[in-house]
Structure formats: structure tokens, C-alpha cells
Amino acid sequence: MFNRGAIINIRGLGHRTIDSVMRFGYASRFFALTLLNSGACFRRPHLIVRELYYTGVQSMIIILVSGLFVGMVLGFQGYQTLNTYGSESALGVLVALSLVRELGPVVSGLLFASRAGSAMTAEIGLMKTTEQLSAMEMMAVDPIARVVAPRFWAGVVSMPLLAAIFSAMGVYGGYLIGVVLIGVDDGSFWSQMQSAVDFREDIVNGVIKSVVFGVAVTWIALFEGYDSPPTAEGVSGATTRTVVTSSLAILGLDFVLTAFMFRGI
């Protein structure tokens, strides 16, 4: 009896492992197909513009507000800590570096995954459930070229822009709290920030991070939608998986990228 249970458990483990590897392979094939079929949507840029509206423009409010608040919190917390060492003039450096290097790409990536990624999955999953994708195939329209590729490129374009907006708003929020409210010296706030933040090392690396997160989030969201079981339950499960998987992917990728970019040398 005990043996039988153990065997079934082990069999289940193996089954799930093989299943997830297979799913990963399917996802990679889906990614390659998306890239290969992108030509059509570059020839019809209004498809991408329409998706930019839904992914980029509609995420802008949440990005603006949360960027401002994250920056303001950094202003308070940074001032508290730096004040202990009598170096509150370095507040600008702290706020700018933490936003540009880490918080900007990561937090806006997480917000993007839950705001735009989940919507993408639900939309494509529902298109599949209501057999719109099959109908397109019937009309000899490739659903990957017509539906998936424009969404993918819109996500890849809008993610770095959203991260930049987030960081800029955050720096402004830190300025509001640090300089306007607490009264850190205006000149040293900006000048120390400018001498510490490097364009290539910090800003470009932040942009690279956000592009990578954009690719990862949109890929996961589109694949989960495309692969979702065509039921109401299946679509809701796929939407949840999009948010969970892409959040974990963002944090994991962020660690790997940070290890490459800022090795502390």
C-alpha cells in the first residue's frame, strides 16, 4: 500500500517535470514564431500603435502615481538613514541610483505585468475560447502575425518608456520630499546626483534591464493566453499564472542582470 502510493507520487513528479519542460519548449517555439512573423506588423504600424495605446498609455497613470510615491518614500527613508551619518546631501545620489538602477525597471515591470500582461492574457485567452483565433485561421490570416506580434512589439517598446517615466517621477518625488519639505540643500542634491550617476553605467543599464523585462513579461503573457485551456476556468488560471510567472521572471532576471552589470569592481 505504502509502496504503491510512493510510486504514484514519483510518477506524478516525473510527469509534471516532463510536462513543464515540454511547455517551455512550446513557449520557445511560440517566441521564435512571433519573431519570424513580425514582418507583417511592421508593414502595418497602426496595429502596433493600437496596442501601444492599450499597453503603454493605459499603464501610464499607475506608473506615474506609483513612481511619485516610491520616490517620496525613498526621500523620507533615505533622509532618516543618511542623517545618522551627517551626509544628508547625498540624498539625491541615493534616490537617483536606487531608482535608475533597480526600482525603476523592477517595480514598473511588476506593475506592467499585472496591469498590461494580465489584460493581454485574458484578451487572447478569450479570443481563443470564443474561437476567434480559429476563425482567423479559417480566413487564412495567421493569428500569430495579426494578434500576437503587434502586442509583443508594443510591450517591448512601451516597457523601457514606462520605466524611464517611473524613474523620472521618482526622482521628482524624492526632490519634493528631500528639498521642498525637509530642506536638504537644493544645489548639493542635484550636483552630487549628477556627479554620481553615470549615463552609460547607470541609465543605459537601467534601460537594458527594462527592455529585457518587457520581452519577458509580454512573451509570458502572450504565451499563457495562447496556450490557455478554452474554458472560463482556463482563462482565469492563465491570467493568474501570467502575473505569478512574470513577477518571478522579473525578479530572477533582475538578479542575473545585476550580477553581470554591477559586480562591484
Contacting residues toward another protein, per CB under 8 A: 46, 49-50, 52-53, 56-57, 60, 96, 100, 158, 160-162, 164-165, 167-169, 171, 190, 193-195, 197-199, 202-203, 207
* Shortest reach from residue 88's CB to another protein, in Å: 14
* Shortest reach from residue 176's CB to another protein, in Å: 15
- Choose between 137 and 198: whose C-beta lies nearer to another protein: 198
* Shortest reach from residue 110's CB to another protein, in Å: 18
- CA gap 243, 114 in Å, rounded: 6
> 173 vs 32, 60, 89, CA distance in Å?
41, 16, 16
- Choose between 105 and 125: whose C-beta lies nearer to another protein: 105
- Choose between 202 and 224: whose C-beta lies nearer to another protein: 202
- Choose between 170 and 225: whose C-beta lies nearer to another protein: 170
- Choose between 12 and 45: whose C-beta lies nearer to another protein: 45
For the chain, give the longest Cα–Cα distance.
76
CA dihedral 239, 240, 242, 247 (to 10 degrees): 150
- CA gap 249, 219 in Å, rounded: 11
Amino acid at 21: V
H/E stretch holding 23 reads: helix 2-36
Question: Could you tell me which of 54, 70, 85, 90 has the C-alpha nearest to residue 184?
Answer: 90
C-alpha cell at 60: 501610464
* Shortest reach from residue 93's CB to another protein, in Å: 10
- Choose between 149 and 197: whose C-beta lies nearer to another protein: 197
* Shortest reach from residue 171's CB to another protein, in Å: 6
User: Radius of gyration over alpha carbons of the chain, in Å?
Assistant: 22
* Shortest reach from residue 217's CB to another protein, in Å: 17
- Among left, alpha and beta (phi > 0; psi -120 to 50; other), residue 209 is alpha
